Amino acid sequence: MSQILDGTVVRDRIFENLKPRIARLTRPPGLAVVLCGNDPASEQYVKNKILACQKLGMVSKKVSPPPTSTTEEMVKVIEDLNNDPEIDGILVQMPLPKHIDTRKVLEYISPDKDADGFHPTNVGHLVAGRPAPRACTPSGIIEILRYYKVPMEGRRAVVVGRSDIVGKPMALMLLEQNATVTVCHSRTVDLADECHRADILVSAMGKPALITGEFIAPGATVIDVGTTRIGDRMEAVKLGKGEEFDKKGAVFVGDVHPVDVKHCAAAHTPVPGGVGPLTIAMLMANTVMLAEQSQGIGAAVRGSA
């Protein structure tokens, strides 16, 4: 059976490492979360981020512009937060309402307060190998691979998905670890064959159970970034989650087939409980790093350190 790579264990270790760094600061780190809209999933994500701040003794500020806000009004919200000396990190919860220019809003965040690591300036720092806030999900994946001592140097890594949020920065971070990286996507020919060559397979496509046994080489480590809610019992039964469905009325499934991965991979992240907790942990780590930079305390840190 495949080893389960438990993200909650790694998250807790990152939190413990952050606590003494927070204690050295002249004031607690401040994270502002901007939530515009009424998406229930987004509201839950924001709640989880605020709870993480409270757990670490950090200051959280929730800003909720009305869903009818214009792009210009959202930019004004960001401008005010950029100028707030008590705020070290700014996060805009996605997705924004469709009428808002998301790129313009995100790029207005000061690179020095970019808690998500999405600003083009910080992406450029990632490409150049310089310390800066990094995209939270891929940096969390590097942390879980390190924690479980999964070798990356010299290994073949395949990333399925080319988004700016996960796929592209994930490829860059694996390259930094001296892996040999292939990026696959919806237009890739013979996707299963490409994936089957991987020692480390990271899937971030958002397509439930796309990665079946034929995609996974024996002994591979599989990292599942996807999360899809399944509300149909028959579908849940096909994925080996019938009993869980009967208890909860719905189940969550990642990009990787939850039964096949147990029989093919040497190790894998579960859904939920794998990558998800690390995303929030790295958001906290980015915010602490930005607070240290703002206060001139300690060296710039990448990851949890």
**Cα separation of 278 and 141, whole Å?**
7
pLDDT, residue 300, reads 45
pLDDT, residue 40, reads 84
pLDDT, residue 41, reads 83
Is 116 assigned a catalytic role? yes
pLDDT in tens, the chain (305 residues): 899 999 999 999 999 999 999 999 999 999 999 999 888 888 989 999 999 999 999 999 999 999 999 999 999 999 999 999 999 999 999 999 999 999 999 999 999 999 999 999 999 999 999 999 999 999 999 999 999 999 999 999 999 999 999 999 999 999 999 999 999 999 999 999 999 999 999 999 999 999 999 999 999 999 999 999 999 999 999 999 999 999 999 999 999 999 999 999 999 999 999 999 999 999 999 999 999 999 998 654 444 44
Whether residue 211 sits in one domain with residue 152: yes
pLDDT, residue 39, reads 83
Domain that holds residue 39: 25-116
Q: Among the options 88, 114, 116, 260, which is catalytic? A: 116
Q: What is the dihedral of CA 78, 83, 85, 86, to 10 degrees?
A: -20
Which of 68, 84, 116 terminates a domain? The answer is: 116
Whether residue 141 sits in one domain with residue 111: no
What's the number of domains the chain is made of?
2
Q: Among the options 88, 93, 241, 255, which is catalytic? A: 93
pLDDT, residue 298, reads 67
Of 98, 118, 123, the closest CA to residue 107 belongs to 118
Q: What is the pTM of this model?
A: 0.93
Task: Tell me if 20 is assigned to some domain.
Answer: no
